[in-house]
Every structure is written in structure tokens, then in C-alpha cells.
Structure 1
Amino acid sequence: MDRSHAPVQVVIDCADPASLVSFWAEALAPRGYAVPAPPGGFADWPAFLLAQGVPGERWNDASALEAEGQPRIFLQRVDEPKTGKNRVHVDLLGGGGPSVPLDTQRERVAAEVARLEALGATRLAEHTDLGVHWVTMQDPEGNEFCV
């Protein structure tokens, strides 16, 4: 995907972008997301960053995930720890929405939650409201998201 054409980017603040991008790459792989190749034909990101003169201690300042036709996910290192609930979160739409029977939604959500727990996510709470079933979770750094 040509990053210059991504119409929207969602940014996740974190302590360790390299570690967290691994979690989100696996979590979002079924939706087509992956870490993009470095620009300019470089073999890998370290080679690109070295060629750009970026000091090694800054190589883990950021990372990203992209999927054709989807918002870019950008993970950036911040010094301050997470202290409260996210004001914006990722919703993986695991159940299929109100047009899908609740029993089917519960089955789909349960399967996705189990997969994400195996990757390091933590289950917080289960909800059903207005014909939709979902589970709130946290990624390995405590950022909330929904399935």
C-alpha cells in the first residue's frame, strides 16, 4: 500500500512499539494488516533507518501496520505511562453486528477473544446491548479495544 494515499491513520501511544506492533500484526492479520516494507527497496527497516542516519536508540520510536483500503495503525513511543481509559479505541467487529443472531455473535466473539488471549490480550468484560454482543479487552500494554 502506498502510505501517501492512506486517508486515515489511528495512533496508539505505547512504551514499546516493536513489541506492541507484533501483537497488533497478529491480531489484525485476518483483516489484511501487516507491517509495511521499508521504502526505497531496503532489505529491512534497520537498513533503512541506518541509511537515514537515525541513531540505533531511536529505532523503536515508532512502527506501523497497513492494509489495503483500511486506516493505517501507527504505534508511537511515549514516555508517560497509560493512566486512564482510552478516549478512542480499536473495535474489531468480531460478532457481525445486529443483523446476525445473538447466539452466532456470541460464538464468533468467543472464538476471536480466545485467539487474542493466546496472543497476550486480556479480557475485561462481556456486553450485550441493542442487539449487539461484544467483549472489551486490553492489548499487552493495557490499551482497551473491543471484539
Structure 2
Amino acid sequence: MEKYFRLLSPKTTNFDAIGGGSHGALTAQDVCVAMSYAKLTTVQVHLVELCVLNRNSLDQVKAAAQLIHSELIRMKQAEMSTEHELSIFVALVELCKVPAGYSPSERNRAIIAGVSRMQIQRKLGLMINTFKTEFKAELDTVEWKIKDQLNKSIQS
């Protein structure tokens, strides 16, 4: 999946190394068309922007967390509370922004959220894990949808 999204970032792409196999080389346009036909949900679009397309400054993550929170409220998968919004923010930061050596401890999560460690332990920890798992599942769904569209475009 990453090789397809690398096509969207031409600075880091070695186009000579991307083989097309029997169907020819894929281009950035192929990936864009596949993404547009993949019928991604609003949450999935925001996750792709944050995690794959590297639009993940803290301000962008905060804005996306608010938009995702409102979308999850609309779908009745989250409550209208600051705890849920904060949990979504921490889950997005852990999913898209932290280095590989990061471990999701209560102290680290408290620093990211700007709350006490006890609040993470008592209220937010389980919600963060739940949202993070849901977002990973959504990203897996995105990957499947885009690969399916690429396969359809290759076959036709």
C-alpha cells in the first residue's frame, strides 16, 4: 500500500524502481483515481490525510480530531464529551505522529493530552485504546478499498 501512496509524493519516489509488471507502471494519477472511486467515508478521508499523506502537524491533528469526533457523534459511535474528543486526539497522535520507539504509557498519554496520569488511568486509557483500534481498522478498510479499485482499473 505504501508504494502506491509514494507515487503521490514525487520527491521521494524512484520512478525507475517501480515496476509495473505485466500491466504497466502505475502513476500518481492511477492512485488518485482509485482513491476517488474507493468511496471513502469522512473519517477514512481524514485518517488518510493524517497518517498517509503526512498532513499531521499538531494543529491539523487537533482539527481532524474535532471533525472526526463530530462525525462519530453523528454516527452514534461517540458521546459529546471532552473525554471522547481528548481520547480521539491522543489516539490520532499515537497513530500518526509518534516515533517508532514510542510506548503508550499512562505518563506519555497524559503529556500528550495535557491531563493528569490518574485521569488517563481512570477514564481515558480504555477509550484511547478503543478509538485507536477503530482507526487502525478503518485504515485497513481504506487499504482494501484502494487496492480493490486499483485491481479493477488494471483489469479493465
TM bracket, shorter-chain basis? under 0.3
Q: Is the radius of gyration larger for structure 1 or structure 2?
A: 2
Q: TM-score, normalised by structure 2?
A: 0.24
Greater RCO, CA 8 A, separation 6+: 2
Calculate the TM-score normalised by the size of structure 1: 0.25
Task: Flag the structure with higher strand content.
Answer: 1
Q: Which has the higher helix share?
A: 2
